[in-house]
Structure 1
Amino acid sequence: MPAFAALRRHRRLPKPSTLVEWAARVGYGARGFVYLSAGLLTLLAATDRIGDAVGTGGAAGWLAEQPFGRLWLVLLGVGLWAFVGWRALQAVFDADHEGADLKGWATRAGQALSGVFYGVLAAGVFEYLDEVGEAASAAADQAESVAENQEKAAMLLGLPFGGALLATAGLAILAVGIGNIVRAFRDDFDGALACPESFCRPATILARTGYAARGFAYLPLGVFVILAGLHARAGEVTSTAGALDALEAQPGGSWILGLTAAGLMAFGAFAFVEARWRRIRAPRELD
């Protein structure tokens, strides 16, 4: 009898593929929150409502300052780790059935790099848990982020051919940005959505706008890192938020920054669409 009862309890549990789908949808929602918040805060910076633009990490810092900040950070961090797990399934087990040809492997490599990025972001979210309630400004958070990036750049410059390695890292950042812009014009976004056509078309516009803006946001940072490598000066490295601030200082920069912010918000909104409508296919091994 106890074994039979245990079997019944086991049979009531969702299938592994169902759990994967739930985790993926939670992950897309967490990604949407990060980019929607980052875009909104960047828009406020462009209109001089707040001091500086923020990147994706700055959105977590802003969340830490809100009421119940610790609870929101835990929920966001768990959601981002769920998305990291989904990226791992996509990259390692080919959950999206991209195939084993060159294009498929390139897509899966991009998904793996995306998983690393969101893993770093998720770890940073949990680091903010120790700072909830402390009087730390957005400017201080950005300065700390820049200092960390410059420290990593200095370590890289200390290696043989460090300048070339740092410049190569900058080229990789540029490649990520250009890749997002290319995706904005070439990808079939509505093909991955299980939604009515009348809804998918506006969602596709959100996706194209969002990916283009996300790619554009990487470009200034890539240029700064390349210049730092060519000049062998770690002090020229900045963060994504710092690069956007430098962009704002140029003629017409506020308008460009505002458009970029709107695009990041579009990217976040599309992530919420994916959380609801994306076709989630668990790896065959789970079945």
Structure 2
Amino acid sequence: MNTSAMAQSGRFRARRMARGSVTEGAARAGFTARGVIYLLVGALALQIAFGDTGRQADRGGALQELAHQPFGAVLLWALGIGLVGMALWRLSEVVFGSVGKDGRSPRKRLMAAARCAFYVFVAYSVLAFAVSRHQSGNSSDQQSRDATARALEIPGGQWLVGAAGLVVVGAGGWIAVRAVMRKYHGKLRLGQMSRRTRRLVDVTGVAGGAARGLVFAVAGVFAVRAAIDYEPDRAKGLDDTLRSLAETPLGPWLLVCVAAGLVLFGVFSFAMARWRRV
């Protein structure tokens, strides 16, 4: 066997291992962990909508809720390890490509790299919380304001913050539109579902994805406003973004609908953990 053939065989074996049971298990654990976080954030947002304003509807609030449950430390570590699995799976997509006919394209690899970096950060924050059992750093709202203030201080900071806000608005719209168009069908093993299960998955995927996209878009709008007005305090994290929905003419009912949508997205993440093609 010549050197080229050996190298090709080696790459094939490496790719097969990356798609093996370990990577698949890591991905499914990651989707499960993501589902838990969205379920908790949505539930906390529902409590805020019905008057319990002392709650914090973001990842920090979700971790606090888990910490107060029986075996809270075990749950936190399991959540963090699941998110590490998600990051490793996304890293395998960067190196070996993802499923689908264009899974090895530069665009898909770049998206996988961005998602890997995001889940590395989230996993680190969860594991740091599991170690200390105290909220690591500030809330998502304070983190957003601090990051915006630092960005505005650099040359061209207003343009940078404004552009970042527009990107987030676009990402939110992209998430929502793809959910409504059910683009996730191409990533699911639909043949393994019953007709009733598929309908339930569509309810959670469409409503949950639309709600998630709306939250992203609103957060992006606040970032753009912060850039235009040169006021970092106008930037909002997840908690303040959700609370702002209750201040619209629709009152708390818009927040109720979005919060319920986030809960559904958590359920959809569990469906992804079960039926996602990895």
Q: Which residue of 2 aligns with 1:285?
A: none
Report if the CA contact (8 A) 2:58-2:140 is conserved. Answer: no
- Residue 188 of structure 2 corresponds to 193
State the AA in 2 paired with 1:18: S
1:180 aligns to 2:179 (yes or no): no
Separation in 2, partners of 1:53, 1:248: 15
What's 1:44 paired with?
47
Q: Name the structure 2 match of 1:214.
A: 212
**Residue deviations 1:162-183 (CA, integer Å, cap 9, x gap):** 1110111111111111111111
Answer yes or no: is the 8 Å Cα contact 1:32–1:272 preserved in 2.
Answer: yes
1:66 to 50, 60, 69: 69
Q: Return the alpha-carbon distance in structure 2 between the equivalents of residues 212 and 109 of structure 1.
A: 24
Specify whether residues 108 and 214 from structure 1 end up closer, same or farther in structure 2 by C-alpha distance, changes over 3 A only: farther
Corresponding residue of 1:99: 102
In the alignment, what sits opposite 2:163?
168
Structure 1 residue aligned with 2:80, among 77, 81, 84?
Answer: 77
1:114 pairs with 2:115: yes
Q: Bigger shift: 145-154 or 177-186?
A: 145-154
CA distance in 2, matches of 1:44, 1:89: 38
Q: 1:270 — aligned with what?
A: 268
2:91 matched residue in structure 1: 88
- Residue 269 of structure 1 aligns to which amino acid in structure 2? V
SS where residue 115 of structure 2 aligns? helix
Instruction: Give RMSD over aligned pairs.
Output: 2.4
Letter of the structure 1 residue corresponding to residue 62 of structure 2: A
CA 233–99 in structure 1, closer or farther in 2 if over 3 Å, else same: same
Q: SS of 2:183's equivalent? A: coil
> Judging changes above 3 Å, is the alpha-carbon distance between structure 1 residues 91 and 58 closer, same or farther for their aligned structure 2 residues?
farther
Tell me how far 1:224 sits from its aligned partner.
Answer: 1.2
Q: Which of the numbers 53, 58, 65 marks the counterpart of 1:55?
A: 58
Contact 1:153 1:166 in 2 (8 A): yes
237 and 99 in structure 1: CA distance in 2 versus 1, 3 angstrom threshold: same
Which range moved further: 65-74 or 212-221?
A: 65-74
Could you tell me the TM-score, scaled by structure 1's length? 0.81
Q: Report how far residue 209 of structure 1 moved.
A: 1.2
Amino acid of the structure 1 residue aligned with 2:249: P
Helix, strand or coil at the partner of 1:184? helix
1:249 and 1:271 map into 2 onto residues whose CA distance is 29
Query: What 5-or-longer segments of structure 2 have no aligned partner?
Result: 1-16
SS for the counterpart of 1:189 is: helix
- Identify which of 259, 262, 267 aligns with 1:261: 259
Query: 2:98–2:108: 8 Å Cα contact kept in structure 1?
Result: no
> Partner amino acid for 1:88?
L
**Structure 2 CA distance, aligned partners of 1:142 and 1:52?**
17
- Offset at 1:229? 1.1
> Contact 1:77/1:123 (CA < 8 Å) preserved in 2?
yes
CA distance in 1 between partners of 2:265 and 2:108 (Å): 19
Unaligned runs of 5+ in 1: 1-14, 281-287
Asked whether the equivalents of residues 64 and 128 of structure 1 are also in contact (C-alpha less than 8 Å), the reply is: no
Query: What is the aligned counterpart of 1:20 among 20, 23, 27?
Result: 23
Write the mapping of 1:242-253 to structure 2, written as runs, cut at 5 A: 242-253=240-251
Output the CA distance in 2 between the equivalents of 1:100 and 1:80. 22
